[in-house]
Amino acid sequence: MLRVGCQTYPWKMGHHFGEIPHILDIARDAGFTSLEAEIDMLGPWFNDPKAARDLFSEKHMSLSCLVLHQDWEGCGQTKDEWELTRRALAFLREFPFAKLMVSHHAGGRQRGEGAELEKRRENLMTCMNQAAVEAAEYGIITGFHPNSAANSLFRTKEDYEVMFQMLSGTRIAWVPDVGHMENGGFSALEMMKAHREFICHVHFKDRLRENVWAVMGEGNIDYPAILKWLQEIGYKGWIMVEDESPTAAGNSDAVVRADGAYMMREIAALEE
């Protein structure tokens, strides 16, 4: 049975920072059984991991993953980056089996090209691997989530081939985001098939066209085919829905409910 949860991003679009009790209630009622949280969305709960653990337990929800965004532009983590990394790991230690997901804050900086791009990629991998090595000491798996912003260091099919070469020498696994890969101009399913050994966690988001996101089932990505493949290979990790559709900004709860209904229908269809 495929396991499905949701990401906190729809509520981030609606500026519901720190509203974790409400977020957990809506996610659970939508049919999801786990939450993936960004640190800023946790609000004060990030500062009290034990209370957060008790809250998740009370709501009968698990934490699948904690998202750690950092700049990671230097040849090693800065003092501030190390501090946030270690706080994230301290939080995760209260949640057995939850993963650490690392991603890159591109900000307003252009991605560069040639030697500049190569150096930025090397620095990013070095810093993320420092976090992953420390996470591994506590039995925590780390996965990298690339995105499709114009200034992303890993956006196109060619970028991803470079990325996999770099990941192979680290403690970092891969978090494929189906929407971002399709937005980068290539088949997410084919890329996942080609590099399934790196996959530790999966993100779904639907899409109408370049940079135009949709509520699950309202875009043009063939999610039934992707779900069928994940089932066929016996995928045991989490599938997390990370809705970025414009509708989420105005009504985050309704979007998550719609996403949940879509996912429950599609998974039920696989079992028929």
Domain extent listing, the chain = 3-271
The percentage of the chain sitting over the pLDDT mark of 70, rounded to a whole number, equals 100
**What digits encode the pLDDT tens for the residues 213-227?**
999 999 999 999 999
Helix (H) or strand (E) holding 138: none
* Residue 108 predicted with pLDDT over 90: no
The CATH number of 3-271 is: 3.20.20.150
Predicted confidence band at 268 (pLDDT cuts at 50, 70, 90)?
A: very high
Q: Give, in degrees to the nearest 5, the angle at Cα 77 between 16 and 241.
A: 35
What Cα–Cα distance (Å) separates residue 255 from each residue in 79, 176, 245? 38, 22, 8
- Round the average pLDDT of the chain to a whole number and report it: 97
Once rounded to an integer, what is the mean pLDDT over residues 176-185?
97
Predicted confidence band at 50 (pLDDT cuts at 50, 70, 90)?
A: very high
The reported pLDDT for the residue numbered 109 is 87
> The sheet that has 62-70: what strands, in order across it?
172-174, 142-144, 99-104, 62-70, 34-38, 3-7, 238-241, 202-204
Once rounded to an integer, what is the mean pLDDT over residues 98-114?
91
φ, ψ at 233 (rounded to 5°): -85, 0
The reported pLDDT for the residue numbered 119 is 97
**What digits encode the pLDDT tens for the residues 53-105?**
999 999 999 999 999 999 999 999 999 999 999 999 999 999 999 999 999 97
